[in-house]
Amino acid sequence: MLDVRGLRVALPDGRVLIDNIDLRIAPGEVVVLLGGSGAGKSTFARVLFEREELDDAGFDVVAATLDLDRAQLGLVPQRGALFDHLDVRGNLELALRQGDSKDDPATWLERVGLERELAEAGTPVTKLSGGQAQRVAVARVLASRRKLLFLDEPSVGLDPHRVRVLARLIREQVKALGVSAIVVTHDVALAAGVADRLFLLSLENRKLEQLFADRWPGALEEAGHSAEERGRWLVELEAALVDHLDKHGDKPPPQGTPKPRGVLTKLARVADPLLAPFRVAAIAAVKAPVQLVKNPRDFAIIARRVIVQTLLRPLPFYAIVSTLIGYTVLFVVSKVGGAGVRPDALLRQIGGSHVIALAPALSALLFVAASGSATNAWLGSMGLTKQTLALDALGVDRRSYLWAPAWLSLALSFFAVAALFALGMILGGMLVCESYGITNAWDLLTGDILDPRPERLRYAVRAAFLVWIYAWGIASDVVAKGGGPKPEADAVTRGMTSSVVACTLWVVAWELVTVLAVFRL
């Protein structure tokens, strides 16, 4: 199922996290990787699931052999990483679709010892206990018919009883479905309960050492092992682990030679955050229509979530700000003439030109700051809680499932926000016009948008173009920044801030370019 030989992983600065390890897993076998914090357990998981991200992040990943069928590799992340935009049933249905299975999701809940009622529509995953969430996560990956399961710290947060229950569950399913499993943990009880073989990721030399190779009796939660035997092995295993950590727990990774990188590679790494939105734009533009046709329900679920975040929730904000701006601009204009100048004549001259000049840029900047940040945070939190990794592990293409509908929904949402913003500015302007006795204020303020005079048509076209390019530019940047790697919580806020800055630059650049183009032509 998995054949890794000579795997070496080093940080960009040359420090070695994993050094020349070999691991081969046979069908139906459960292998446990033990190790202390920083021993490289998560790095090993990223080699299997996020190889591209590691490369992009500058890690040096080398393997003589890495024989792995990604389509057969399933993941149970820490704390389950259930998709919180779906209910329990939705999580399982998504996995079942990936496994081309028509099974009832409730059957899979029963299989992992959960009540069938949890499969009823509308049961949110956030109401599950830690143990329940972990079991649903196991059920989810099993339902996807993956043949090699990777369980990353599956016992985190579970009490000793539930740890044992989980261990038995894993053994049962491995046996029942004929799958293999890699369990990464530092939980001695779980390790002893499920392992056919035990390995230690050594902090001493960063190699993989098999523990008790000659005398390990096999998974202790299997039938045939007495409580006494189990207790003895737990003590022995814990002693071995503690002894190792006591000796090498504070040892930093050995310093190796950093991989030499060319100028172009360095430049590419620096430019990647800048280029990522362009990449997202191209990918999303291709995948969105395909996803919409092939998986309309999945598309609708993501689109609905994004539209709620970006349009419906901040709607009062946009309404208030746009009306205020529309009122203030025309109020100031009406006063600039001074004595002897009729304010209504000034307002008639201005018409709706201030709306088409200001609405695209202002709505874009506010949209980035409010709506864009909301979706950015949502996408970022999905990465931070490994939900995106779980998607990958189910064989769900995150670009199709998540990015494309989010991208399109963001763009459509911005169209709506820009239109609402213009409407708000018009309504605010109407208040000023009414105060000066202008009876056709609505026609006057919408004239430059709906029926511009020839010399103003270019400005209306510019506004429409700006709304168009801001829509997909902002959508691309938000998805790129939000969908990027999120190794820690600060990466989420960093993504939000950098997206606001990048989108502001995008807006400013297009404002200047189009102004120059319009006035030079």
Partner 1 sequence: MKIATLAGIVIVAAHAAGFAWLAQKSGGSELMLTVPELAVRATGETPGLHRSYVRTEYRGGHVREIGTTELVGPFQDPKAPACSGRVVVGQKLLDAMAPVMKDMVTEQMRGTDIFPVGSFQRVRSLSLEWARAESNPGDRRLLGSAGAPDGYVRANATVVFDRGEVALLVAFIPQRSPTSLKFRIAAVADLEFNNSVLRWVSDKLGADRIATSVAREQIDDILVTTFAPPPPFELPGGQSLQFIYCDGPIEIVDGAYGALPFAVAFTPLPNAPQILPPRFGPGARPAPPPDTTLALDLDVDALNAMLFELWRTGWLDRELANVGLDRRFNTDPIVTDYLSIRISPVRLALPPVIAPHAGALRLAADARVAIADGAHTTVGRAFGALDFHFVKPATTDLPVSVDLGALELACERTPTTLVPCYSDLVGAIRDRGAELHGALTDAFAALLGDIFIDRHLGTTGLPAELVIGAVVPSVTRGGTLHLQLAGTLVPVQ
For residues 83 and 459, which CB has a smaller minimum distance to partner 1 in the complex? 459
Residue of the chain from 225, 461, 494, 511 that contacts partner 1 (CB under 8 A): 461
Residue of the chain from 451, 490, 505, 508 that contacts partner 1 (CB under 8 A): 451
For residues 377 and 503, which CB has a smaller minimum distance to partner 1 in the complex? 503
Sites for partner 1 among residues 261-290 (CB under 8 A): 275-283, 285
**Spatial separation of the C-alpha atoms in residues 186 and 154, rounded to whole Å:** 10
Please state the closest distance from residue 455 (CB atom) to partner 1, in A.
Answer: 6
452 binds partner 1 (CB under 8 A): yes
**Binding pattern to partner 1, positions 484-513, x when CB under 8 A?**
-----------------------------x
**Spatial separation of the C-alpha atoms in residues 316 and 361, rounded to whole Å:** 19
Please state the closest distance from residue 519 (CB atom) to partner 1, in A.
Answer: 10
434 binds partner 1 (CB under 8 A): no
| Chain Cα centroid distance, residue 37 | 25
**Spatial separation of the C-alpha atoms in residues 156 and 489, rounded to whole Å:** 19
For residues 282 and 320, which CB has a smaller minimum distance to partner 1 in the complex? 282
**Strand, coil or helix: 3:** strand
Question: Nearest CA to 297 among 84, 118, 107, 93?
Answer: 93
CA distances from 30 to 137, 147, 150, 182 (A): 18, 12, 10, 6
Please state the closest distance from residue 415 (CB atom) to partner 1, in A.
Answer: 16
**Spatial separation of the C-alpha atoms in residues 308 and 299, rounded to whole Å:** 14
456 binds partner 1 (CB under 8 A): yes
**Spatial separation of the C-alpha atoms in residues 474 and 471, rounded to whole Å:** 6
DSSP string computed for 72-136: GEEEE-TT----TTSBHHHHHHHHHHHTT----HHHHHHHTT--GGGGSTT-BGGGS-HHHHHHH
446 binds partner 1 (CB under 8 A): yes
**Spatial separation of the C-alpha atoms in residues 59 and 487, rounded to whole Å:** 14
Task: Assess contact for 188 and 241: CB atoms under 8 A.
Answer: yes
Please state the closest distance from residue 294 (CB atom) to partner 1, in A.
Answer: 20
For residues 22 and 53, which CB has a smaller minimum distance to partner 1 in the complex? 53
**Strand, coil or helix: 156:** coil
Question: Nearest CA to 154 among 176, 172, 124, 133?
Answer: 133
Residue of the chain from 169, 448, 496, 500 that contacts partner 1 (CB under 8 A): 448
For residues 235 and 457, which CB has a smaller minimum distance to partner 1 in the complex? 457
196 binds partner 1 (CB under 8 A): no
Residue of the chain from 305, 458, 491, 498 that contacts partner 1 (CB under 8 A): 458
Sites for partner 1 among residues 295-354 (CB under 8 A): 345, 348-349, 351-352
Using the rule CB under 8 A, give the single segment among 205-213, 234-242, 296-304, 457-465 that binds partner 1. Answer: 457-465
Question: Nearest CA to 495 among 510, 509, 508, 484?
Answer: 484
> Binding residues for partner 1, per CB under 8 A?
52, 275-283, 285, 345, 348-349, 351-352, 440, 443-448, 450-458, 461-462, 465, 469, 476, 513-514, 517-518, 521
